[in-house]
Amino acid sequence: MKIRGEHECVTRCQPPTAQSPSKAIVHEKTQPHIPTMVGNVMKKVMANANGISIKEYYIQYDHEFAPFGEDEQFCAAMFEGVSVLLDTTWIDSRYLASAAEEFGIPYFHIDLSVQTYVKLLESFLLARGGNDVVYILPNYQDADATIYLLITDSYLRAIVFGELDGDTVDRIRDLRPYPSFYAVIAGTMEMNNILQKAIDGGLVRKPEKWNLLFTDLQTDQYTLGDDFPQMNRLVLDSNTCCILLQQRFPCICPDPFDPMDAHLQNVLERIVQWFIKDPIPLVRASNCTPESQQQELLEHAIAAQTKLMNEIAAMAEFWITPESGMLRPNLNLSIISQPANQNTTSAAAQPPPATTIGNVAKGQIVLVKNESLQPSKRFFRVGTTESIPWAYRKRDPNGNILRNSATGEPIWEGYCIDFLHQLSVVMNFDYDLVSPRNGTFGLRDADGKWDGLVGDLVVGEIDFAIASLKMTAEREEVVDFVAPYFEQTGILIAMRKPVRETSLLKFMTVLRLEVWLSILLAIVATAVMLWLLDKFSPYSAKNNKDAYPYECRKFTLKESFWFALTSFTPQGGGEAPKALSGRTLVAAYWLFVVLMLATFTANLAAFLTVERMQTPVQSLEQLSRQSRIKYTVVKDSDTHDYFRNMKNAEDVLYQMWRNLTLSSGNDQAQYRVWDYPIKEQYINILSAIESANPVATAAEGFRRVNERLDADFAFIHDSAEIRYEISRNCNFTEVGEVFAEQPYGIAVQQGSHLQDELSYFILELQKERYFESLTAKFWNNSARSQCPNTDDSEGITLESLGGVFIATLVGLALAMITLLGEVIYYRRKETSRHFIKVAPFGNADKPMARDGKRIALKQKSIAAVKHLLDLDTPAKALRGAATTVKINTKKEKPIPKEITIGNKFVSAAEKQQKLSYIAIMPRNAIH
């Protein structure tokens, strides 16, 4: 480096003598005020110093040129003689310190810049747990000094801005990732100006992240303290003035008061006193070469310098950091902030006022009892996009997006939103949700540029993306993925359950109408034919009394219809006809009945089985082979890309196979086959998808599925989203198995420091089974318990066979109507009959009077029985008994022994052809 600039002699211009110490003061070329500042302070110091004269050399240091020890101006000063080297620059002091050591000149590095304030503010930020900060300074000179300090001695990742203007505001607003803190170091009036520009530019969204350090004592003119009490303020404490002025507290602080002027005066006073107490020789050098004969004197000077530094370090007005050895002023700063135990996040509540909670002195934080600093929280811009149930904007019943009343931002919900909130808790950060300006998840155009979440990550618009973002090889080329947070997901087919027509007579539709009419016609024809055969056949029971003397079934027309109807039941038709012709007809009819019943049963079972089938297809392959069911995907989605890639793969394989088979080489004959070995499944699927017009969103796809009541439309989409919709909609069902499985992951910028940290906490959450509870929350199938049961696998429903019960009820109603008709008909018939009352057998000894004559009823009854037994007895004999009844005791025909008259019913003998049954007269009276 090379030092350029003119030699400036402020107090004296004659060359120094051996007895007059001389000091060289090095300053930055951007510090033109240093000579004037040092000159004014030297006048005050020298006014109290008697018998000593000090010469000053001012050297502008430009670190862009040769090293300091080779500078011509420095060599000229060394030729005249230098006693001490004072460094007021803010650069790395190694070059100046090494040059002073080479020539044996006592070296002191004094901080008169903003670096002491930055150092104190950094101590405060580190105490709050910060790791990155944006410094805003009032001018570029302070910004340069801050940058050099951060390069050589800082633990924070920092970005420095000077002179806040419109362009700077835009650059700060576009910073990615968002900084944990904003720090402003300025005087009170400059602070008001900077903060107002930041507020107007929309930078002050989280006031608690802003930290203000005031470099003067005019903080009573700060105008934004009541508006933003959440901002942390570091102000010069009143005892700072007393310390630097070496006065007891309390003291009167001059107005205006510049701490750096007081600090420079303290340093120069110590050096002048050192000159008086222990004279320091002049060090001269010719051609910038140290003189060897002065080594003993130089050693004495260096020892004296070390002793002086130890004395200065013990003084209250100085702060010497061990890592740099720079002489800094001891600035005692008061921390004004909201108490941590009273902080509130409610937008409606009035924030508590800010109070003094501690001090910062010599880089140490001392807090008031029971107070604590608010912990630092990093801030990230997190990208997401809508996909149910992962992340979606909350809406009211009318579909309008609900917004946060405080910020005006949309309210987000979903699996990823809950997951992100949990991450912010365990990782201690704040975040803003950002939607991509173009696209959704990310597509690459022909020029290789990405849109959506992937594109925002590539350009640094967001810090990381959390959504239903699948980990693909193409995306891995431009972004990094952390450990997967969700189980393997893939592609699934969703269809609507077919809407079945509810009819109580549905079982009647098993057979067509013409079949039912044919069955009815067969019943009628069989009944009529059976009646005719029984009537005209000579071998029927009706026409063949000798062969069938006992009572047989008479197949009248009514009885024939009854036989034909009852033959359709398991009970059977009853007694069959006796004639061979009738039995032949009945046998043929029974065969017809058996076949019809078996056909009906088989068709009914098949009908109910087909009705229970949820979908007419069960896999993607079956879906591709049919043409009735249409299907589609979300346009330009991962699923759409999957079918495009599979179609392209089939095309490439076809070209390879064609090239092999059409090659003229003999070695390729083994590939020539009659059948096409490459399936065109995905070619057909993609063609069907394009013809059905891919939908714009998943919601539209599910709507189209729900509208097709005949289940003739399918939606191919992400399996997790489909299962979520199925858990909430009773009309949907999934088809087949999941295919093309891939994991979901959080995407970060390539090389981002967040990758390892996010992966670690995701694995920790997995160990705590957090994701299982989150999955159970969003994929909750309890809602399907309210769905109507349309599956007949557990039994046939009443809607399918309710007509059977109706037919039974109709039959019961007809039976009751018939019973009513029978009762009415019987009563009318009974009222038209004449009854003859006779005395009971118990009163036979008391003759009744009839036509003036008494008749013995017992004898008359006996005579009537004999007449029934003897059919040859003339009827007149019975009628003559009305006047005189004479019982002939002589029996013309004995009563057969096989006939018993008593209280039992006994069948007639075989020889008595005229008697089939005998009625037993009861002993009680007949009324």
For range 484-494, the mean pLDDT: 84
Q: Give the CA-trace dihedral at 537, 543, 548, 553, to 10 degrees.
A: 80
Which residues does the annotation place in the binding site for L-glutamate?
Answer: 475, 639, 718
Q: Is the pLDDT of residue 838 over 50?
A: yes
Whether the domain at 22-112+255-326 and the domain at 114-248+331-340+352-367 fall into the same CATH topology: yes
Q: Which CATH architecture has domain 489-498+616-660+678-741?
A: 3-Layer(aba) Sandwich (3.40)
> Is 684 within 8 Å of 624 (Cβ atoms)?
yes
Tell me if 736 sits within 8 A of 618, measured CB to CB.
Answer: yes
User: What CA–CA distance (Å, rounded) separates 734 from 716?
Assistant: 10
Q: How many CA atoms lie within 13 A of 519 on its CB side?
A: 18
Stronger pLDDT, 204 or 796, i.e. the higher one: 204
Superfamily of domain 114-248+331-340+352-367: Response regulator (3.40.50.2300)
CB environment 744-754: b (16+ within 10 A), e (fewer)? bbbbbbeebeb
Residue 346 contacts by C-beta under 8 Å, 6 or more apart in sequence?
Answer: none
- Supply the pTM of this predicted model: 0.58
Which residues define the annotated binding site? 475, 639, 718
Q: What is the pLDDT of residue 75?
A: 74
- pLDDT > 80? residue 858: no
Average pLDDT, whole number, for the chain? 78
Is the Cβ–Cβ distance between 704 and 496 less than 8 Å?
Answer: no
Phi and psi angles of residue 344, each rounded to the nearest 5 degrees, phi first: -130, 145
List of residues 6+ apart from 604 with CB closer than 8 A: 507, 510
What is the token pair recorded at 80? 């005249």
Enter the tokens of residue 649: 């793969």
The pLDDT tens digits for 762-790 are 999 998 989 888 888 888 776 666 776 65
- What's the mean pLDDT in 901-919? 51
747-749: strand order across its sheet:
429-434, 378-383, 464-465, 747-749, 479-481
Residue 197's pLDDT is 92
Backbone angles phi, psi at 182, to 5 degrees: -115, 135
State residue 208's pLDDT score: 87
Which pLDDT does position 378 carry in this prediction?
Answer: 78
Higher per-residue pLDDT: 924 or 500? 500
Task: Kindly tell me if the per-residue pLDDT of 348 is higher than 50.
Answer: no
Please give the structure tokens belonging to residue 688. Answer: 């069907």
Q: CA–CA separation, 763 vs 834, rounded Å?
A: 106
Q: 638 or 9: which carries more pLDDT confidence? A: 638
Least confident of 67-76, 620-629, 740-749: 67-76
Residue 212: its pLDDT value, please? 95
Band of pLDDT at residue 121, cut at 50, 70 and 90: very high
Question: Quick one: which of 46, 56, 58 has its CA closest to 5?
Answer: 58
State the fold for domain 22-112+255-326.
Answer: Rossmann fold (3.40.50)
Residue 462 near residue 673, CB atoms below 8 Å: no
- CATH H-level, domain 380-487+743-788: superfamily: Periplasmic binding protein-like II (3.40.190.10)
Helix (H) or strand (E) holding 122: helix 115-127
How far apart are the C-alpha atoms of 770 and 755, rounded to whole Å? 20
Query: 897 or 532, which is more confident?
Result: 532
Kind and range of the H or E run holding 513: helix 513-536
User: Which tokens in the block code for residue 723?
Assistant: 């299962």
Hey, where are the domains in the chain?
A: 22-112+255-326, 114-248+331-340+352-367, 380-487+743-788, 489-498+616-660+678-741, 526-611
pLDDT in tens, 640-699: 988 988 888 888 888 887 777 766 565 656 666 666 666 778 888 999 998 888 998 888
Task: Please report which helix (H) or strand (E) contains residue 574, including its range.
Answer: none
Q: Per residue in 415-440, pLDDT tens?
A: 999 999 999 999 988 888 989 988 88
Burial 354-382 (b: 16+ CB within 10 A, else e): beebbbbbbbebeeeeeeebbebbbbbbb
| pLDDT for residue 412 | 92
Give the pLDDT of residue 12.
Answer: 32
Distance of alpha carbon 668 from alpha carbon 661, whole angstroms: 6
Provide CB contacts within 8 A for 757, sequence distance 6+: 427
